[in-house]
Amino acid sequence: MRRACTCCFTSRPPNINPQNSDCDKPSQSSVVTMTSTQENNASGVPEGMEESLTKLSPRAANILLNHDFSMGLQHWHPNCCNGYINLAESNNRDEAFINTCAKYAVVTDRNEGWHGLEQEITNNISPGTTYSVSASVGVSGSLQGSVDVLATLKLVYKDSTTNYLCIGRTSVLKEKWEKLEGTFSLSTMPDRVVFYLEGPSPGIDLLIQSVEITCACPNELETGIANAGDENISLNPRFDDDLKNWSGRGCKIALHDSMGNGKVLPQSGKFFASAMERLQSWNGIQQEITGRVQRKVAYDVAAVVRVFGNNITSTDVRATLWVQTPNSREQYIGIANVQATDKDWVQLQGKFLLNASPSKVVIYIEGPPSGVDILIDSFVVKQAQKISSSPPPRAENLAYGFNIIMNNNLSNGTKGWFPLGSCTLSVGTGSPHIVPPMARDPLGPSQPLSGRYILATNRTETWMGPAQMITDKVKPFHTYQVSAWVKIGSRATGAQIVNVAVGVDDQWVNGGQVEISNDRWHEIGGSFRIEKQAEKIIVYVQGPAPSVDLMVAGLQVFPVDRRARLRYLRTQTDKIRKRDITLKFLGSCSGGIFVKVRQMQNSFPFGTCISRTNIDNEDFVNFFVKNFNWAVFGNELKWYWTEPQQGNFNYRDADELLDFCKSHNIETRGHCIFWEVQDTVQQWIHSLNKNDMMAAVHNRLTGLLTRYKGKFKHYDVNNEMLHGSFYQDHLGKDIRADMFKHANKLDPSALLFVNDYHVEDGCDGRSSPEKYVDQILQLQEQGAPVGGVGIQGHIDCPVGPIVCSALDKIGILGLPIWFTELDVSSINEHVRADDLEVMLREAYAHPAVEGIMLWGFWEMFMCRDNSHLVNAEGEINEAGKRYLALKQEWLSHASGQIDERSEFRFRGFQGTYEVQIVNGSKKTSKTFIVEKGDTPVEISIDL
């Protein structure tokens, strides 16, 4: 994706983030005899390991692997350049310069300022924690004066959004080491976090001696946990009392004051423990905490770990909870994982919550392959600190309907605009004269566009294009809509992505994206929001390949008046969701009869994602049953869950969830039969040849749909076909339609859905409404019985007209549309509540939408952080209160007297009603149901 930075503007090649495959867990193993050793010798250390181990002083753990390049460039990746390690004895640099560093990295062949050295740190950091960055850097090459070296974070999200955060900067003279320092803290956790060093001009070599990223306060987490609860759940957490309360899980454990001839020392305190002679990845150190943890209480876990031996330098280390329920059912709950190294101590942090009452609970550390020792310096489990509710954001009032872009009609040439990079800007004529449709209603009556456009030529990088500074015009906590007409030149070969980007200080924000494959004008629309005042904000248009001309007309950036939109949606909701209802009372009626009508339940589908462990929590169940009438299973029906290894089936979880839903009259969606994204497909399927894979696909269809025939109202047949093509690549272009056909034969009663993400928000050119419609039409042309359209709805900064535009475009198919995985995310509960209200009202007011499913509502059981409505211990937050308020608003109540024709008229939503008839001192109650529809309805009630 593209990004803006204060030193350069550039595009980056995509990175792949493979998913870790699931693995079976063994049952609880027997405890092996403990051993204890404190000898300072190399016993058990593989030959040559001593030289690779670095002696540590007691300090904060460095989360970077191979931070001093003692293992060459292992764990580091030269991004679009080359690198090598220089040693003091190489004598290819000025001697005075080189003597300051025994070993350092040289990053060379740099053709862009952002080319540099990077390392992924996703698993080593946690949101809300402050980290300090320190690096010793230099430069070499043909240069005069000083150049800047930057430390940067690349933040990659599931929705393909990529942001860049500058976290440190220093000026460096040729062949002189300088210290680069900075700090960072992430409020939410991206799917990937990559740290890298960059900055000097192309052709200048970047030199890096050592790099450290440490928790700014090493005991910060433990301090926070200590204040949260009265007691530490784990006993002897720092091994001050030998190995008391600890045992080996399928292995031996030992106590040490050092290892590797004194090169491995405790991170804090006097001792650390090790899990040794491990034969399986699940072997490790454990402690039983039965009776010290309570159900429905959130706990924080903090450990300091590293690995040793077997010539391994880094590996995954995990904290896991093994739970046995009174009915002897076993559960394995993943708490946290981190990439641990044999060089430094690293922090392992996570949370857990027990839904059911356990008969036994064991917490343990596991993960590395056999033969690798796990070292543990400390292991703290504390009741999680309660986080106070976030206050409403203080947002300034703005004049709505006002475009903040200066000279957007180009009547003053390019005044107010500047070229980003070395491209050339000029003004042309022949662009559309109408405001882009998605912006027309929010802007209100406006003058036609001038027909002039800004032309960017001589583009040598994808990020080059027209730009404008908007720093003083953007206010925190306001959502801004973005809209424009864009077009590309004739030199393009293949489809091109055009993007409206917003550079907020050193971060990049996606303001809208469209894919263009012809020479016509295209509408682009999106949104953005900032939550603190920025020093510099730039809006710019970018994206086509170098040498492709870019044309932009009528760029609009304006604050969204949500209150005006909500007033409109209330009117639309009345038209779309209500019916004129006449109650006709039969039997003897006399004048003066009073009726009171109260709607008990709206039958429009409002559902949520649930999991098997959720239904052991009665608080979860009470909220769910009271406030939802549909359910979808988060994982329990997916193929990797029901058949993790070929022929090894697990339907127990799905069966129990189905029985639970049936007992509460909850309808269910089947998610999903297949998942087209490669990283979600089990390894055993990857290893099959074409014929065996085809057989496995048909077995999956037959086994699943025969077992559950008639039990799921919907199926997502092949999830995310706009973003993946695994089965199509392996089995041919007809396989997708064949999946639908075969599923329909096996269970004709189920509606068969397509399902994908970012269809509704304008931020992903791969999944535009137009592309989704084309895909569905192609499936139908191949005979696929597509019965419904699923829009997932994982959205940020939603804007009503953009969402509505997508629904209108997909609605032309005449198929029912469902929001299938709706969630909104903001650390501020009030902002989250506003976003949720926007999405619920837009969906409920649109005639093509026939159901809304949230992707969860309970903290710690959701896909995205800061998206829950109810916290882990059952307290309803502002977003949850807003949801409940809307559910109440969408219930109809009326009262009055029966008229002379023994009738009572009112307008109400579909669903179940109770009417109370008062005739003098006599009171009678009846119930009736209003079915879905938009025409007047008469309900006869026999008195």
CATH number, position 738: 3.20.20.80
Determine whether 809 is exposed, middle or buried from the number of CB atoms within 10 Å of its CB (0-12, 13-18, 19+): middle
Question: Is cis: bond before 672, omega within 30 of 0?
Answer: yes
Q: Are residues 546 and 463 both part of a single domain?
A: yes
Beta bridge partners of 426: 455
Are 645 and 781 in a shared domain? yes
DSSP code of residue 407: T
CA distances (Å), origin 454, targets 425, 451, 458, 612, 808: 7, 10, 13, 56, 30
Q: Do 793 and 841 have their domain in common?
A: yes
Return the amino acid letter for 684: W
CA distance 526 to 543: 15
Q: Which of 845, 870, 890 is the last residue of a domain?
A: 890
pLDDT at 591: 67
d(CA 916, CA 598): 8
Cα 145 off chain centre by: 43
Q: Report whether 157 contacts 190 (CB < 8 A).
A: yes
Same domain, 142 and 191: yes
**pLDDT tens digits, one per residue of 342-355:** 999 999 999 999 99
Long-range contacts (CB closer than 8 Å, 24 or more residues apart) made by 569-573? 569/800, 569/841, 569/842, 569/844, 569/845, 570/841, 572/845, 572/846, 573/841, 573/844, 573/845, 573/890
pLDDT at residue 398 in the model: 77
CA distance 514 to 536: 25
Phi-psi region of 239 (alpha: psi -120 to 50; beta: other; left: phi over 0): left
Instruction: Give, in order, the Cα–Cα distances in Å from 115 to each of 111, 144, 151, 695.
Output: 7, 20, 12, 46
Question: What's the DSSP call for residue 53?
Answer: P
d(CA 564, CA 568): 7
Catalytic residue among 222, 643, 676, 720: 720
What pLDDT is stored for residue 589 in this prediction? Answer: 63
Reading the block at residue 827, the tokens are: 């650390």
Distance, in Å, from the CA atom of 750 to the CA atom of 709, rounded to the nearest integer, reads 8
Burial of 73 (0-12, 13-18, 19+ CB in 10 A): middle
Nearest-angstrom CA–CA distance, 773 and 302:
48
Please say if 288 is a catalytic residue.
Answer: no
Sign of the torsion formed by the C-alpha atoms of 802, 806, 807 and 808? positive
Closest CA to 287 of 267, 273, 271, 306: 273
HSE (CB half, 13 Å, CA atoms) of 156?
Answer: 17
Question: Tokens 């000097």 sit at which residue?
Answer: 200
Find the helix packing angle between 829-844 and 878-889, rounded to 10°: 30
430/514 same-domain check: yes
In a 10 Å sphere around its CB, with 0-12 CB exposed, 13-18 middle and 19+ buried, how is residue 143 labelled?
A: middle
Q: Assess if residue 529 is contained within a domain.
A: yes
CA dist., res. 573 & res. 844, Å (int): 7
Q: What is the pLDDT of residue 586?
A: 87
Residue 97: CA atoms inside 13 Å, Cβ hemisphere, count?
21
DSSP letter assigned to residue 520: S
Q: Say how many Å lie between the first and final Cα of the chain, rounded.
A: 68
Count the neighbouring beta carbons within 10 Å of the beta carbon of residue 159: 19
* Per-residue model confidence (pLDDT) at position 329: 83
Please identify, among 358, 383, 408, the residue that sits at the C-terminal boundary of a domain: 383
**One domain for residues 809 and 692:** yes
DSSP per-residue letters across 745-805: HH-TTSEEEEEESSSSSS--GGG-HHHHHHHHHHHHHTT----EEEE--EESS--HHHHHH
Is residue 594 situated within a structural domain? no
Q: Is residue 695 part of a domain?
A: yes
Cα–Cα distance, 942 to 217 (Å, whole number) = 73
888 φ, ψ to 5°? -70, -40
User: Max CA-CA distance within the chain?
Assistant: 111
How many structural domains is the chain composed of?
4
Phi, psi of 122, rounded to the nearest 5 degrees: -50, -50
| Eight-state DSSP code of residue 124 | G
Q: How many CB atoms lie within 10 A of CB 32?
A: 16
In angstroms, rounded to a whole number, what is the distance separating the alpha carbons of residues 655 and 636? Answer: 9
620 in the same domain as 515: no
The answer to whether 162 touches 12, Cβ cutoff 8 Å, is yes
For 208, the domain range is 77-89+99-215
Same domain, 495 and 543: yes
Which tokens belong to 818?
Answer: 């469902």
What is the pLDDT, as a whole number, of residue 588?
A: 65
Task: Determine which one of 760, 821, 829, 837 is catalytic.
Answer: 821
Of 152, 236, 235, 157, the C-alpha closest to 191 is 157
Whether 861 is in a domain gets the answer yes
Q: Per the domain annotation, does 937 fall within a domain?
A: no
Here the tokens at position 745 are: 């034969």
Same domain, 208 and 297: no
> Does residue 787 lie in a domain region?
yes
pLDDT value of position 478 = 86
Nearest to 621 by CA among 636, 610, 637, 632: 610
The one-letter amino acid code at 599 reads: Q
Helix axis angle, 735-746 relative to 769-781, nearest 10°? 70
Ranges in the chain, pLDDT < 50: 1-59, 89-101, 218-230
| Contact (CB, 8 A) for 577 and 840 | no
Indicate whether 127 and 200 sit together in one domain: yes
Q: What are phi and psi of 532, to 5 degrees?
A: -155, 155
Same domain, 359 and 458: no
The residue from 890, 910, 930 where one domain ends is: 890
Instruction: State the amino acid at position 186 in one-letter form.
Output: L
Contact status, residue 398 vs residue 475, Cβ threshold 8 Å: yes
- pLDDT the model gives residue 191: 81
**Does residue 23 form part of some domain?**
no
User: Is 663 strand, coil or helix?
Assistant: helix
Together in a domain, 530 and 477: yes
d(CA 228, CA 251): 33
State the pLDDT at residue 664: 97
Dist CA 158 CA 758 (whole Å): 10
- Burial (0-12, 13-18, 19+ Cβ within 10 Å), 812: exposed
Whether residue 720 lies in the annotated active site: yes
What are the backbone dihedrals phi and psi of residue 796, each rounded to the nearest 5 degrees, phi first?
Answer: -120, 145
| Structural domain includes residue 777 | yes
Secondary structure class of 260 (helix, strand, coil): coil
Entry pTM: 0.75
Asked if 894 contacts 597 with a C-beta cutoff of 8 angstroms, the reply is yes
CATH number, domain with residue 437: 2.60.120.260
Quote the pLDDT of residue 127: 78
Q: Are 813 and 770 in contact (CB under 8 A)?
A: no
Report the distance separating Cα 833 and Cα 191, nearest Å. Answer: 23
3-state helix, strand, coil in the chain (%, to 5): 20, 35, 45
